[in-house]
Structure 1
Amino acid sequence: MSFTQKFYSADLHLGHAAILKSCASTRPFATAVEMDAAIVDNINARVRGGDILYILGDFTLSRNAEYVRHLFHTIRPRKILILGNHDVDNRGAVKKTISELPWDCPPVGALETKDGGRRLWLSHYAHRTWPAMHHGSYHFFGHSHGNLKGYGRSRDVGIDVADTLFAPRTFQELIATMPDDSEAEWHSHLVRQYGRRVPPVGEIRVPEQMRPLIEEMFARLSVLLPDERLSTVQDIDFQNGVRVDLMLSWVLPANVAAQAHALVDEIQSRAGDQV
């Protein structure tokens, strides 16, 4: 029995001639038909017939139902569609050329699955938060054609993103540059202890030797400041020591704000000594 693999892609835009101009750097084709053939070939070169291809929106803009069916059946793997803005009409109904195709399951607006034992939230649009975000889950999206940076454990998986190489990629390939397990576990610990004071995973990437120092910072700030008065601590950068941007409520007394900033300055200085 062969093992079924999952692959992910987005924003195929099959039959869409206008995208040859808006995404000219990644779609250097003379015609939409030439582009469509390259996309189908790239999919079939990577994904076997029994594998699953998740398409995170914008499958096709063609109104030619026969041509769309031809492309659909030429793509060998099982296909699951997460609906994008171009897959529905102005009323939000799935376009007939798409709804009548034999998808592996009916197209939906968002979907949760698992890959490599990890929870994974799929949607056409990027989310700032998603199910189990603070407990190690991932989020894949499209729509942005490589123009929107990922947020924590989220990322654009569309074919116009440089590292997808104009083809579907596996879960492991797509998460290769994301925070590792150790970072996620430590981040979840911080969130349980200090709640909204902690920035999203991916914005606080900390070498293990510096984690006790940063946790000390959160612990001391939690004593100094009430919960609602510390908006966020972000942009923690350990390549050149540490930089902490402290965003405080305007109603905070001046002397307390000064103490908070002095505490952060101390942490930054001590972190610099560890580099």
Structure 2
Amino acid sequence: MNIFFTADHHFNHKRIIEYCSRPFKDIDEMNEALIQKWNSKVKLEDTVYHLGDFAFGHIEDQLKVLKRLNGSINFILGSHDKNLSEAVEAFNKERGIASRKIIGSMTTVCVEKTEIILCHYSMRTWPKSHYGTWHLFGHSHGKLEGWGKSFDIGVDVWNFEPLSFDEVEKGMASRPDNFNLVQREVS
């Protein structure tokens, strides 16, 4: 099982193509490409953390997308997630298993002993940043540089694909330490 991180798909959002200069002629082409990119990396047994702005549209439209995506998905709510809670509830009820979950607006996960703060929005400091925790965010569509051990995990930055933990780890290796890092003595 692998763990993936992503944000800002904006499924069913026609104007995001223009706003972010996405290379798609319409929402059908965009949705299809985003689903294919997702499923080419994420397998059924994998876990995905989606950091907000998943989809626009009615519950039924969002449900159609949810049904086509691989993996268990944990959602951090973003600024454009109207109806997502209802779509997730409908998906889980229909499937009889809670493989789609709404976590809230922020959470901390621990992957291979690395604490990662997940939020739709970028922060300059975050819980335990002074101890070297990482922070992944979306919302800015590649227009905001990360700060210390943080970066934008949105699809507009990463060729419309989710990033695995290994890919995030490689990206963090080249990031500077958090400005407030406390140097711990090693005993």
Fold similarity call, TM over 0.5: yes
Query: Taking structure 1 as reference, are residues 71 and 183 closer, same or farther at Cα in structure 2, changes over 3 Å only?
Result: closer
Indicate if the aligned counterparts of 2:17 and 2:23 stay in contact, CA closer than 8 A.
yes
What is the SS of the residue equivalent to 1:145?
Answer: coil
What's the CA shift for 1:62?
1.6
Structure having greater relative contact order (Cα 8 Å, sep ≥ 6):
2
Indicate if the aligned counterparts of 2:2 and 2:165 stay in contact, CA closer than 8 A.
no
What's the CA shift for 1:129?
1.3
Query: Taking structure 1 as reference, are residues 144 and 173 closer, same or farther at Cα in structure 2, changes over 3 Å only?
Result: same
| TM-score (normalised: structure 1) | 0.59
Q: How many correspondences in the alignment?
A: 178
Query: Taking structure 1 as reference, are residues 22 and 61 closer, same or farther at Cα in structure 2, changes over 3 Å only?
Result: same
What's the CA shift for 1:123?
0.6
Which piece of structure 1 moves more, 40-49 or 175-184? Answer: 175-184
The residue type equivalent to 2:4 in the other structure is: F
Indicate if the aligned counterparts of 1:99 and 1:107 stay in contact, CA closer than 8 A.
no
- Give the corresponding residue for 1:71: 65
What's the CA shift for 1:180?
6.6
| TM-score (normalised: structure 2) | 0.85
- Give the corresponding residue for 1:40: 35
Query: Taking structure 1 as reference, are residues 141 and 181 closer, same or farther at Cα in structure 2, changes over 3 Å only?
Result: closer
What is the SS of the residue equivalent to 1:35?
Answer: helix
Distance in 1, matches of 2:152 and 2:145, equals 8
1:96 aligns with 2:86: yes
- Give the corresponding residue for 1:51: 46
Distance in 2, matches of 1:16 and 1:146, equals 18
Indicate if the aligned counterparts of 1:152 and 1:179 stay in contact, CA closer than 8 A.
no
Indicate if the aligned counterparts of 2:56 and 2:62 stay in contact, CA closer than 8 A.
no
What's the CA shift for 1:107?
3.5
- Give the corresponding residue for 2:102: 106
1:106-133 residue CA offsets vs partner (Å, 9 max, x unmatched): 3311111011210011010011111111
Unaligned residue ranges in structure 2 (runs of 5+): 93-98
Greater gyration radius: 1
The residue type equivalent to 1:114 in the other structure is: C
1:16-68 residue CA offsets vs partner (Å, 9 max, x unmatched): 000110111xx2111101100100100100011010011100110122x3232
Relative to its length, the structure with more strand (as a share) is: 2
1:152 aligns with 2:148: yes
Runs of 4+ in 1 over 6 A off after TM superposition: none
- Give the corresponding residue for 2:95: none
1:123 aligns with 2:123: no
Indicate if the aligned counterparts of 2:38 and 2:69 stay in contact, CA closer than 8 A.
yes
The residue type equivalent to 1:11 in the other structure is: D
- Give the corresponding residue for 1:214: none
Structure 1 vs Structure 2: percent identity of aligned residues? 32
